[in-house]
Amino acid sequence: MRKPFFRKARNCWFVKDDLGRFIRLDPDETKAHTLWLRMVEAAAYKEPNATFYACAQAWLREYEAEASPDAFKLAVATLKDFCEYLPDSFRAVDVDPISLHGWAKGKRWSMSTRRDRLRTVKRVMKWAFTRGWIPKDLVSDMKLRSSPPRIHLVTQEQFAAVIADCKRWKRARPYIPLMIALYHLGSRPQAVRIVKASDVSACGRFWILKRHKTAEKTNRPQQIALSPCLQTLTRILMARRSSFLFVNANGDPWSKNAVGLRMRKIRKRLGIPNLMPYNLRHTFATDALLAGQDIATVAALMGHTSTEMVSRYYGHLDQHKGHLADNAAKIAAARSQK
């Protein structure tokens, strides 16, 4: 269905349907567009004529209630870009792997970004199929390439250099508390960025996050244990007037792009390749395992629901050959004593 247009002779908004008929909407532009959106949504239920645009709009209305503001904003931007790539009134049932690959071709995306963008479109298609908006989902079996695991760990010297670099620039100094928290907690950057003073437990030893990545799976808040260093840092940050613990130079909470851009500048100045906020999470996991913590405890501290992710992606013990050699020697010595 085409977009509404205004007829001066009739002093009213009209829309032309797929049969070429002119349908009167309303003299008021806002009311006319509201009626038009309802008509588009109603038409979407008529198999197999549901447009991808209508399916995406309906899915976003449901997704907004469960997603974080950053995740919802990213989904909107992704689907908007895909809809602009598709021809007008493109049917959702016609979206196939060729459509997705054609859209992604030429985009300057990393492998992980490409996977996330394509997965968002696949989620809309799966939702439309299960709701009965489309009779079939042509991308359900489409395999998405996994991005290679991050294997770069941050040494103590590199972390100290990051902090020293932030101290040199006035607008970068608010970045320091965020970096300290990520280094000592091993939590997801997106979780730390949005911590509020109201999320701090009464005893001050925990952050209790109601909205987090695994909330839908666990159906309970995520409890982040704070070391003495982080407990002190939390008290200092709570003394500020901001409701968020970690804010930028303007007093606003850090956005995902701002955190990444700041780290990119630091990485360029210091000449440290592959330095990213998420590397601090990998470093925490590896350091915890080297310190003798069992994998279940490390997984719980990092907010995982199982030990699989730590063992598969985070425990980079292979980069500590001295640790492995020492333990191999201990095992050999223990066997010789039997």
Mean pLDDT across the stretch 82-110? 92
Tokens 């030893």 belong to 205
- Residue 217 near residue 250 (C-beta atoms within 8 A): no
pLDDT at residue 139, rounded to an integer:
94
Rg for the chain, CA atoms, rounded? 26
- Residue 319 near residue 286 (C-beta atoms within 8 A): yes
Sign of CA dihedral 217, 219, 223, 224: positive
Q: Give the residue with greater pLDDT, 320 vs 219.
A: 219
Phi, psi of 156 (to 5 degrees): -65, -35
Report angle CA 222, 226, 228 to the nearest 5 degrees. Answer: 170
The CA distance from 213 to 126, in Å, is: 20
Phi, psi of 186 (to 5 degrees): 75, 15
Map residue 230 onto helix, strand or coil. Answer: helix
Q: Give the residue with greater pLDDT, 332 vs 206.
A: 206
Tokens 């030429």 belong to 106
- Residue 248 near residue 254 (C-beta atoms within 8 A): yes
Which tens digit of pLDDT belongs to each residue from 172-193? Answer: 999 999 999 999 988 888 889 9
Quote the percentage of the chain above a pLDDT of 90: 38
Q: Is residue 169 pLDDT above 70, yes or no? A: yes
The CA distance from 137 to 237, in Å, is: 49
Q: Give the residue with greater pLDDT, 233 vs 317.
A: 233
The CA distance from 55 to 49, in Å, is: 11
Question: Please, which residues have CB within 8 angstroms of residue 155's CB and are 6 or more apart in sequence?
Answer: none
Least confident of 99-113, 134-148, 219-233, 291-305: 291-305
Question: Please, which residues have CB within 8 angstroms of residue 224's CB and are 6 or more apart in sequence?
Answer: 185, 187, 191, 206, 207, 208, 209, 303
pLDDT at residue 39, rounded to an integer:
75
Quote the percentage of the chain above a pLDDT of 70: 84
- As separate numbers, helices (DSSP H) first and strands (DSSP E) second, the chain gives 15, 5
Q: Is residue 29 pLDDT above 80, yes or no? A: yes
Q: Is residue 331 pLDDT above 50, yes or no? A: no
pLDDT tier, 324 (very low <50, low <70, confident <90, very high otherwise): very low
The CA distance from 176 to 181, in Å, is: 9
The CA distance from 7 to 16, in Å, is: 12
Q: Is residue 49 pLDDT above 80, yes or no? A: no
Map residue 244 onto helix, strand or coil. Answer: strand
The CA distance from 82 to 104, in Å, is: 9
Residue 128 tokens read as: 């439309």
pLDDT at residue 231, rounded to an integer:
92
Mean pLDDT across the stretch 101-124? 92
pTM here is: 0.63
Map residue 164 onto helix, strand or coil. Answer: helix
Mean pLDDT across the stretch 94-105? 94
Residue 197, burial from CB neighbour count under 10 angstroms (0-12, 13-18, 19+): middle
Which tens digit of pLDDT belongs to each residue from 246-304? Answer: 999 999 999 888 999 999 999 999 998 888 888 888 888 888 888 888 888 888 888 77
pLDDT at residue 335, rounded to an integer:
41
256-262 long-range Cβ contacts below 8 angstroms, 24+ apart: 256/70, 256/189, 256/190, 256/193, 259/178, 259/189, 259/193, 262/172, 262/175
Q: Is residue 140 pLDDT above 80, yes or no? A: yes
Least confident of 57-71, 158-172, 227-241, 320-334: 320-334
Q: Is residue 97 pLDDT above 90, yes or no? A: yes
Q: Give the residue with greater pLDDT, 221 vs 142.
A: 142
Residue 86 tokens read as: 């598709």
Mean pLDDT taken over the chain: 84
